[in-house]
Every structure is written in structure tokens, then in C-alpha cells.
Structure 1
Amino acid sequence: MRFRRPRRWADLSRLERVDLYTRQSLHLVLWLMCLFVLAAVPSREPLLWAGGLVVTALGSSLMNAVVRGYPRIRPFAWRRAAALALACVLYLGLVAVPGQGQVAGTAGVLVAANLAAALGGLPDHRISLGVVLFCTVVVGATSANLAAAVSGVVIGVLVVFTVRVSLWLYGVVSELDEARQTQARLAVAEERLRFSRDVHDVLGRRLSTIAVQAELAATLARRGDSRAADRMMDVRQVAHDSLAEARELARGYRPTNLSQELEGARSLLRSAGIDVGLDIGDVPRAWHEAAGWVVRESVTNVLRHSSATVVRISYRDGELRVENDGVGTSVGTVDGTGAAAGTGSGLRGLGERLAPLGAGVRAGPSGPGRNGWTLVARFPASGPVSASAAPAAPARTVTPDPVDPAETAARARRSAS
């Protein structure tokens, strides 16, 4: 209950909408109940109505402060509580004490209802019990009969229960939203960790070999040994191999499987509380890897940058479309040539990877009110440029040579001697 609300309902997140609905519903129930109680009195006494409206306004103000701080008790709005207490005492003294019958009972019910609504949101059962007992005493004393005391218990329990349950439901929604965001962050962090492990495993030994061979070449060069040039050529070859492996890592050194990417996207988005719709036709086999890139980048953007609740992935007539209903922070836009604008690097990189293949990607706001986001990748029917220019090489998994740095250093010392 601590959000600064935008002006439009469409700009609110799901949690902010629940916050607004819960708070406004509690105020609406309190005011409707008090107005109904006042309207039930046949005599229209100005003091009864004026005092009742003042007490309701102060009770609504204190309830708003308690709801905003939920589930914390401190800091407590003591000034608002003191103003409400003073207003209740004056109201009872000026209306209930000199009044008789229904007028006095109405004043007691208004005071009990407002105190129960204002303090019912405090997450302390002792306070709730005290509020119910106070409502019983006030209603029973102002009405001067046992049945009224029972109605005071009912009023206190009903109002406190309504407030507590509403705030409890909001707390559950808040925890679920936080869990969804945590799930999205963990998914991104897990992918980064996987990539860092792959970089360490694949390139670590290569770089150790480069360091040892470069040291050996330097030693041979100082001695004027002609073998130094050969050693530097070895360093050059290892560096080229490392660069090729780094490129494979950046592209995803395992062959991209479109079916696995789609299933992984469905599972990941659903675990983050997002509905997923798949309507994938017959994607040409030559475009499976590129389509997998698009799906992977789109899902990452949805998790990191949007407040989407629904994602649709479809393929028709050479176009792969990924649509969601919740625009988040800017992730940049890409035109059909692969040129990127904005601050996002993921879409820029995707456009740069698709452009050499003859494909294009564009993205931007869409839907009613421009509150959605659509990414469209266009794949020519002729297939990727590289695939049409030369026969496709079979995909393979890059496995680094098992080079032991200690063994390499020993060989280097033997060669130098």
C-alpha cells in the first residue's frame, strides 16, 4: 500500500490495481454503511448527520493510514487516532447522551463502525478483540438493551473481519507478485551463470596454454633460438581456435532446437505467472536456429522489461511474431534491416545476427492504447543467405582439447632446454 498511482488505470501494474481496488473498496463499504445507518433514522436531526459525517471522515482517514502501513503497526498515526477519539467522545456526548431511542443507538453504531474499520487493519489479535468489546459496550450502552449489545458484537466482528480479510488477500497477491519477479530474476541470473561456466570451461585451458607458450617463445627469443618463431605461430593458432570457440559460445555452442526453445519459453513464462499461447506452423528447417534466437531474446525481454500477463508466439507466411500485453521499460526498437535504435542491446544484437542471413526483425508498441509490445521476425522463403550460398555443415558441439597447464609448462621447459 505504498505506491504513487499513475493517472490512468491502464498504466497500473496488477499489484497496483489490487492495491487501489482494496483501499477504495474499504472506504466505499464504510461510507455506504454509515450513510445507510443515518438514513434509517426517521428524524433528520442536523447534529446527528453532521457529527456522523465528521466521525466517518476521521475514521476513513485513520483507516487509510493503517492500510497504507499494513502489515506494519509502527509508525502509528497517533494524531489521526486522537482526532477520531475526540470526535467520538464529543459526538456521543452531544447526540447519544441527550438523545433517546433510535437517535442514541444510531450514534453508538456509527462510533463503533468507524473505530472497528479504523483499527481493524492492525495485525494484532489483542487490538481486534479490544475493538469488538468496545463496540459491544458502546452499542449496548447507547441503546440500553441486551439485543443491542449482541448487535454491537456482530458489527465489530463483521467490520474487523472485512478489513482483515481484504488486507490479507492483498498481502497474498503482493507475495505472489514478488515471487514472480524473483523467479524472473533468477531465470536471468541462472542463464548468466551457465554462460559464465561455459566460458570458464571452454576458454580457461586455452588461455592457460597461450600464456605458457608465449612465455616459452619469449625465453627462446632472448636466447636467439630460431624456434621462437614456431612457438609464436603455435600461440597464434591457439588464439584463433579460442576466438572461434568464443564465437560459438556467444551464439550458443549447442545447436539451437526450436521445439526445445518453445517448450522452455512456455515453462519459464508460466512459472513467472504469464499465460502463453503457441500457434507455430511449419517453420522451414533452415530457419529453426534463427527462430530459436528470436524466441530466446523475446522471452528474456518479457521477463526483464515488461509487466505482461499474456504472451502469444505465432508463425505465419514467413513471419514469426511474439506479442505481449504489457510494455515495460524501453528495450529499444529494431527495423527490418537490423538497424537498432534506443538503449536495448539485446534486440540490436539480434538484428545484427539475423541481417547476414537475409532476415529482418522489427519491434515496437502495439495493441489498443499502445500498451502491448510486438516483435516480428521476417524469414525469406529462399532460406538463409549462408545456407543458399553453400551446403550447410552438420552442427557439432565444440569440445575443448583437454590441455593441462602443468603438463604444458613442463613441455615448454623441456623444449627451451
Structure 2
Amino acid sequence: MRVPAVPRWRDLDQVRRADVYLRSSLYLLLWGVPLLIVASGARSDAALGTPGTAGVALLVVVLTCVAGTATLREVIALHPRPGPLPRRSLAALAATLVLGVVVARLLDPAAGSVLVVVVGIVVSMAAGGLTDRRAVAGLLVLLGAATLVVSGSWPLVVVVLAYALFLAFTVRSSLWLYGVITELDRTRRAQAALAVAEERLRFSRDVHDVMGRRLSTIAVQAELASTLARRGDERAVDQMLEVRAGAHEALREARELARGYRSTDLAVELEGARSLLASAGIACHLAATGVPERWREPAAWVVREAVTNVLRHSQAREVRIGWDGSALTVADDGGTVAAPADGSGLRGLRERVEPLGARLEAGPTGDGFAVTMRVGVA
């Protein structure tokens, strides 16, 4: 069986590095400080009495560290969620605390006090990160009672509880910082996914606008060529050549859209609208000069969408495109059968112009349908 390779530090992402750093630091402190105190006591015969008693105390400390490690691991996994509490590991931790009190009572008072302090360090670090304040308060009360039973000294109880609160605050602060890091990473990933979604939406809108217009043009020209061919008119050949040219132009624009290079020019859209409407036998009256540079591209979007809707949904014979200094209007006389005001194309167009500070209005008029973009009002 092949053992999976341990990932190298440089191969880990930032969140994984923070996770490894947090766990290794807390586990090192949880094991290192108590064992260092016990080891120093065993060498000096001062902290925990004789080497024999220090050995018993060391066993209690090791058991407490094992229970504390299990509790701390579950606390890290839960954070920052409020529950459920790791009841089994907390019960094991409380049991080791009680065991520490029993052993400490068998030692001399000084050694017993040191043992309770060491066990209290482990308990404080292991359970200090719990979000349930009642559980933390219960453990602190139990720790204070254990210290009082062993030492009988209220000042030592205050010192132990103060140190326990400091360790609990340290653990909670570390977990809070880790939570901030993970949340920032989730936000970054969400922003990346949103950027992809926005790009897909932009592409779908451009495809709808550009290809819809081109295909409408090809459809109108093909219908005209078919009519001329049935009459035996030689102009049918010219119309079919225009259909071919339109197809090549649609292919070119599709490639530009895929590469993201295509820009929208108002003058080109106006001329294209005039030519397209003329091919369909619809008169076009243009009065859209003086559009500010800032609004020329959004105005081109409106012209493209509105003219496409006229060809698809209207029986118009005349279209007027005008700019009055604050609004661009594309109006036709095709009755009330134009595209609905909440159609997908107009809805997408509205979503594009409103963030720029414009408002899109679309609906029937007295004898037709009008699409208006009012600037500086959104």
C-alpha cells in the first residue's frame, strides 16, 4: 500500500498554511508548557517533590494533555459555529481534572498546588475556545474549586483563574483570526465565481445583441431574395450575395465576441439600423446627433436592441431614432405588437444601463412602441 506523500509547505495555500500554523502552535503550547514544568520539577526536586512523585504527576499531566488535545481538536473543528458541544471529550477532560485533584491531595501541598496549576493550563487551553460561555464558565468554576480543595489558598485560586482566562482569551483570539482568514478566502472565491458569472452574462448579452441583429438581417434579406427569385428578378442574386456577406460579418463578430475585443460604436449602429430597416422596407429617421461620449456606447446598445425588436415583433413602416439632450428614443408606428417591456433582451439591456446612471423605459405609445434611455436620472 502506497503511503500518500506529505504536502510541502510551499505547496499549501494561504488558508491551509494558517490552519497548520494554528494547530501546531496550540498543540505545542498545550503539551510543551506543562511537560516543561514537570520535567524541571523532576530535575530539581522542587516543583513536584521527589522524582517518584514527579513521575506520578507526569502520568496525570500526560493523560490530561491527551484529553485536552482531543477537546482542542474538536473545538477548532467547531469554531466559529456555536455547537454542538464535544461532550465526550469535555467529560474526559473534566475526569482528568478530578484525577489531578486526587493525585495532588496525595502529594505535599506545594507539589499538589503545582500539579493543579499545570492541569489548569491544559484545561484552559483545551476548552477556552468554546463558543458556549456556560461550558467555559462551568470548567472555570471546576478549576477554581479544584485549586481551592488542593491548596486551600484563595489568592492562588485568583491567580489560577486569571491565568486560565488569559489562556482562554489567547486561544479564542487565535481561532477568531483563523476564522477571519477562512472567511476572507471564501469571499475571494465567491468574488472569483461572481466575476466568472458576470463575464458569462456579458457574453450572453453580447451574443443576444449582436447575433440577434445579424440573424434578423440575414432573415430579412433572404426573404427578399426569395421573393425576387420567384418573380424571376435578377436582383435576387445581389440579395443572396448580401446574405452571404451578412453571414461572414456575423461570423467575424462572433469571433470578436469570443475574444472579448468587440466594442460598440453608436455611428456604426445607427448606419447599420438605417440599412437594416431599409432592407425590410421600413423608413428610418435619424436625429441622434450630439450624444455625449460617455453615453454613446449605451445608446448604441439601445439602438441595436430596439431595432432588432422592431424587425422581430413589429409591423412598423417607420422608425424614428432621436436624442433630445437627456434621452435617446427609438420609436416605431407598428401598433402595440412590439416586444414586451419585460422581454429578456430589454431586461438585460436595463440591467446594463442602470448601473451607469441611466433609466430604460419601454412600452406602447399611441400608434406604436418606444424604447427610451434617460440619462442622469438613475
The TM-score range, normalised by the shorter chain, is 0.5 to 0.7
Given that 1:120 and 1:164 are in contact with CA atoms closer than 8 Å, whether structure 2 keeps it comes out as yes
Given that 1:5 and 1:12 are in contact with CA atoms closer than 8 Å, whether structure 2 keeps it comes out as no
Q: Is residue 76 of structure 2 the alignment partner of residue 67 of structure 1?
A: yes
Q: Is residue 48 of structure 2 the alignment partner of residue 41 of structure 1?
A: yes
| Cα distance between partner residues in 1 of 2:5 and 2:119 | 31
Q: Is residue 187 of structure 2 the alignment partner of residue 179 of structure 1?
A: yes
Q: 2:155 aligned to 132, 136, 147, which one?
A: 147
Given that 2:49 and 2:111 are in contact with CA atoms closer than 8 Å, whether structure 1 keeps it comes out as no
Cα deviation for residue 155 of structure 1 reads 2.2
Cα deviation for residue 170 of structure 1 reads 0.5
In structure 2, what is the equivalent of residue 7 of structure 1?
7
Q: 1:77 aligned to 51, 64, 86, which one?
A: 86
Given that 1:112 and 1:134 are in contact with CA atoms closer than 8 Å, whether structure 2 keeps it comes out as no
In structure 2, what is the equivalent of residue 127 of structure 1?
135
- TM-score, normalized by length of structure 2? 0.62
| Cα distance between partner residues in 2 of 1:79 and 1:126 | 16
Given that 1:213 and 1:235 are in contact with CA atoms closer than 8 Å, whether structure 2 keeps it comes out as yes
Cα deviation for residue 397 of structure 1 reads 9.1
Q: Is residue 176 of structure 2 the alignment partner of residue 159 of structure 1?
A: no
Q: 1:102 aligned to 93, 106, 110, which one?
A: 110
Cα deviation for residue 242 of structure 1 reads 1.8
In structure 2, what is the equivalent of residue 270 of structure 1?
none
| Cα distance between partner residues in 2 of 1:134 and 1:211 | 84
| Cα distance between partner residues in 1 of 2:24 and 2:267 | 60
**Which sections of structure 2, spanning at least 5 residues, go unmatched?**
42-46, 277-306, 318-378
Instruction: Classify 1:70/1:15 alpha carbon distance in 2 versus 1 (closer, same or farther; 3 Å).
Output: same
| Cα distance between partner residues in 2 of 1:238 and 1:36 | 83
Cα deviation for residue 153 of structure 1 reads 1.3
For residues 43-90 of structure 1, the C-alpha deviation after alignment (integer angstroms, 9 at most, x for no partner) is 221221111111112212221121122223444433333333333323
| Cα distance between partner residues in 2 of 1:12 and 1:74 | 29
Instruction: Classify 1:179/1:50 alpha carbon distance in 2 versus 1 (closer, same or farther; 3 Å).
Output: same
Cα deviation for residue 11 of structure 1 reads 1.4
Cα deviation for residue 147 of structure 1 reads 1.1
| Cα distance between partner residues in 1 of 2:49 and 2:66 | 23
In structure 2, what is the equivalent of residue 88 of structure 1?
97
For residues 67-121 of structure 1, the C-alpha deviation after alignment (integer angstroms, 9 at most, x for no partner) is 122223444433333333333323322x123333122212322332222222211
> Residue 127 of structure 2 aligns to which amino acid in structure 1?
L
Q: Is residue 181 of structure 2 the alignment partner of residue 168 of structure 1?
A: no
Given that 1:254 and 1:397 are in contact with CA atoms closer than 8 Å, whether structure 2 keeps it comes out as no
| Cα distance between partner residues in 2 of 1:109 and 1:64 | 22
Instruction: Classify 1:33/1:129 alpha carbon distance in 2 versus 1 (closer, same or farther; 3 Å).
Output: same
**Which sections of structure 1, spanning at least 5 residues, go unmatched?**
256-395, 413-417
Instruction: Classify 1:238/1:117 alpha carbon distance in 2 versus 1 (closer, same or farther; 3 Å).
Output: same
In structure 2, what is the equivalent of residue 54 of structure 1?
63
Q: Which has the higher helix share?
A: 2
In structure 2, what is the equivalent of residue 19 of structure 1?
19
How many residues align? The count is: 268
| Cα distance between partner residues in 2 of 1:81 and 1:133 | 14
Instruction: Classify 1:54/1:28 alpha carbon distance in 2 versus 1 (closer, same or farther; 3 Å).
Output: same
Instruction: Classify 1:88/1:246 alpha carbon distance in 2 versus 1 (closer, same or farther; 3 Å).
Output: same
Q: 2:254 aligned to 242, 246, 257, which one?
A: 246
- Give the share of equivalent positions with the same residue, in percent: 43
Cα deviation for residue 202 of structure 1 reads 2.5
Given that 1:37 and 1:110 are in contact with CA atoms closer than 8 Å, whether structure 2 keeps it comes out as yes
Given that 2:48 and 2:112 are in contact with CA atoms closer than 8 Å, whether structure 1 keeps it comes out as no
3-state DSSP of counterpart to 2:106? coil
Cα deviation for residue 131 of structure 1 reads 2.9
Given that 2:48 and 2:57 are in contact with CA atoms closer than 8 Å, whether structure 1 keeps it comes out as no
For residues 291-337 of structure 1, the C-alpha deviation after alignment (integer angstroms, 9 at most, x for no partner) is xxxxxxxxxxxxxxxxxxxxxxxxxxxxxxxxxxxxxxxxxxxxxxx
Given that 1:18 and 1:170 are in contact with CA atoms closer than 8 Å, whether structure 2 keeps it comes out as yes
In structure 2, what is the equivalent of residue 380 of structure 1?
none
Instruction: Classify 1:101/1:5 alpha carbon distance in 2 versus 1 (closer, same or farther; 3 Å).
Output: farther
- TM-score, normalized by length of structure 1? 0.57
In structure 1, what is the equivalent of residue 240 of structure 2?
232
Instruction: Classify 1:131/1:79 alpha carbon distance in 2 versus 1 (closer, same or farther; 3 Å).
Output: closer
For residues 177-208 of structure 1, the C-alpha deviation after alignment (integer angstroms, 9 at most, x for no partner) is 22222333333333333333333323321111
- Structure showing greater radius of gyration is 2
3-state DSSP of counterpart to 1:97? helix
For residues 348-383 of structure 1, the C-alpha deviation after alignment (integer angstroms, 9 at most, x for no partner) is xxxxxxxxxxxxxxxxxxxxxxxxxxxxxxxxxxxx
